[in-house]
Amino acid sequence: MKKNNLLLLMLTLVIVLAGCSVTTKEDAQQQNQQDPAAETPADNTAVDIELLGMSANESDLNIIRDQLSKNGFNVKLNLQPDYGSYKAQQDAGNFDIALSSWTTVTGNPDYAVRSLFKTGGDYSIMSDEEVDRLIDEAATQTPEEAVETYRQLEQRLVTDKAYIAPLYISLKSQAFNKEVLDPSSVRLSKSRSLPWEEVDFNDTSKRATEPLILSQANSELTSLDPIKGNDGSINIINTNMNVRLINLTDDDKITSEGSLSYNHAIGEGNYDYYFILRDDINFARINNKQAEDSGERVGADDVIFSMNRAKDKDSVPDHRTYTLHEHINTVEAVTDLSELENTKVSGSSESIKDALEKGLSTKISALVSDKNQANSSEGKYQVIKLTTTEPFPQVLNYLAHQSAGIVSKQQVEKINTYDINNFDINKDIPYGDQRSVTEGDGYNNTLYASGPYILSYKNDYEAVFYKNPGYMSGTEHEPRIEQINVRFIKDAESTLSALRSGEIHLYYGVPETRYDVVQSDSKLELTTIESNAVSYLLFNTKNRDVANSDDLRKAVLYSINQDEILAYYSNNKIKAYSTVSPIVKTGNELVADPAKVQEFLNAYKASK
């Protein structure tokens, strides 16, 4: 009996204790006050984001879309068929993020950032005083000093503000038919475009009878005026149509080889840059669709005219490259020989005259102002002095850029008679407008080419170029092949098929995913090097939430998994942190972080 009473007592105690643990309404309210998250469920609503790109980059766009989608974004893909329509959408602001790319074709890090990210830059859609300051500071420093400044610039550009989200560095590649082309004549340079004048057939008897057939995706050419185009549609073309004061070697060193100058030298203080000009280049022109020597020599007056218009934002409508040349102060012809004799080379006791005379068969006996009086065999030369606004040796890299191509002063002034303040694109046809070289009623080719080739005409199928008969005749730089045809083939697979079938001879820019196809074809040769080309996501900086929210941009940034992208390309891509990554190794690296994505997305949602 006592045992049963004890069990009953214990059961009663359990029931009482259980009743004490029941949560009352007051308890619930108090608990919610202590833990606000308990009364506000997590917001898992996907955030809308519009991704702009071209169909040629569809694989990249799909990878990015998937990465964003699994991190809490609802991605709208704005896919455009070509660069023209892509650029129109970008200019209209119809995107949150745009798949962009940039190739530093000058080999110097300043070019990798100045046009893109500095306030007022040719391609910049952003303005940040700290970014501007760091760009200008790095430009004046030695390469060793600049590493830390560029590291800070990347921190501001990517880590702190997320103005861009880096993707990868590409390899530079080309494949060609080695049964048709002489492999030793086909160069692949880190920055410089393919020099057409050096390419040759194995059978040299074909030089005058068969065209070299190349390809490119873009059939709409921005402009054949070198200062008005700076994109994939025109860079290689303008590089081969207009000679420059200076060139780059295959590994991005400054050289006078194959340029308008025999030699160049930097004066004391790094303000003055001297160039002694060749006298064996004439402008080519087109007559009845054939190239002919215009009889006009490329000289100092053309250099002065070209450099002054290159640096002047208002020299032409839609000037796209003026910020590359903003460090040019003055450009003039030197006519006093004593200046060359009395000025020392920077960091040396050597005179500018001695430096300019190196390798010349005839030393300088006189300096002439009239280009037609220059005669190197008699020692009569023209010398250009370019003075910068501050000590800035990187100016030489910019002078190697296609936008520094030399045009004919006489011809450009003859064509560009419009009033720049009242320019009407519908009725005014400026120098280099592609309408003037397109077959049809508007065809009226007024080009004067200072480079090894001149464009005769184009249509939707191809552009046809002819050798400049007045370009360095009898030298190693004289163009080998008489005619070059550039076929317009929009997609990579069709271009690769054209190469394999013999329709084209060389494919510049083979996708990394198709290297194996080239390597399996015994008649083809593939060459690759690490390039200065970087792909990245550019954020809209106007009229969209991403323009105003650092948190939203950072959520996108930390969604990007570069390892996944590299794996898709069989590790034939290289990790990037900014557009300077191929040139300056700062040590910065982007690591995908889903936890940070959610942190920044939650902060963005809470701020709305």
Measuring CA to CA, how many Å separate 597 from each of 52, 160, 216, 497, 593? Answer: 21, 15, 39, 42, 6
Find all residues with CB under 8 Å of 87, minimum gap 6, and list them: none
For residue 41, what pLDDT is reported? Answer: 58
Neighbours of 501 (CB within 10 A): 8
Confidence of residue 42 (pLDDT cuts 50, 70, 90): low
Same-domain status, 444 and 367: yes
For residue 334, what pLDDT is reported? Answer: 98
Comparing 34-48, 99-113, 400-414, the range with the smallest average pLDDT is 34-48
Same-domain status, 193 and 291: yes
Tell whether 298 is covered by a domain: yes
pLDDT digits (tens, 9 = 90+) for 208-254: 999 999 999 999 999 999 999 888 889 999 999 999 999 999 999 99
Same-domain status, 315 and 396: yes
Helix (H) or strand (E) holding 297: strand 290-297
Same-domain status, 219 and 359: yes
C-beta of residue 492 within 8 angstroms of C-beta of residue 138: no
For residue 2, what pLDDT is reported? Answer: 42
For residue 8, what pLDDT is reported? Answer: 42
Tell whether 13 is covered by a domain: no
Q: What domain range is 407 assigned to?
A: 181-504
> Measuring CA to CA, which residue among 4, 405, 418 is closest to residue 235?
405
Q: In this structure, is the dihedral angle defined by the CA atoms of residues 85, 231, 124 and 153, taken in order, positive or negative?
A: positive
Same-domain status, 197 and 157: no
Average pLDDT of the chain is: 92
Per-residue burial over 206-220, b if 16 or more Cβ lie within 10 Å, else e, is ebeeebbbbbbbbbb
Strands 282-287 and 524-539 come out as: unpaired
Confidence of residue 568 (pLDDT cuts 50, 70, 90): very high
C-beta of residue 350 within 8 angstroms of C-beta of residue 341: no
C-beta of residue 437 within 8 angstroms of C-beta of residue 443: yes
Alpha helix (H) ranges present in 407-539?
A: 409-415, 492-501, 515-519
Tell whether 233 is covered by a domain: yes
Tell whether 555 is covered by a domain: yes
For residue 528, what pLDDT is reported? Answer: 95
Comparing 313-327, 487-501, 549-563, 585-599, the range with the smallest average pLDDT is 313-327
Q: Does pLDDT of 22 surpass 60?
A: no
The pTM (predicted TM-score) of the whole model is 0.81
For residue 121, what pLDDT is reported? Answer: 82
Half-sphere exposure of 285 toward its Cβ, with a 13 Å CA cutoff? 16
Distance CA 364, CA 357 (A): 7
pLDDT digits (tens, 9 = 90+) for 569-601: 999 999 999 999 999 999 999 999 999 999 999
Q: In this structure, is the dihedral angle defined by the CA atoms of residues 158, 160, 162 and 163, taken in order, positive or negative?
A: negative
pLDDT digits (tens, 9 = 90+) for 515-527: 999 999 999 999 9
Q: Does pLDDT of 23 surpass 80?
A: no
Burial label for 30, CB within 10 Å (0-12, 13-18, 19+), is exposed
Phi and psi angles of residue 43, each rounded to the nearest 5 degrees, phi first: -85, 105
Same-domain status, 360 and 442: yes
Half-sphere exposure of 509 toward its Cβ, with a 13 Å CA cutoff? 19
For residues 409-428, give the mean pLDDT. Answer: 95
Distance CA 239, CA 233 (A): 12
Same-domain status, 373 and 404: yes
For residue 1, what pLDDT is reported? Answer: 42
Same-domain status, 461 and 580: no
Q: Does pLDDT of 314 surpass 60?
A: yes
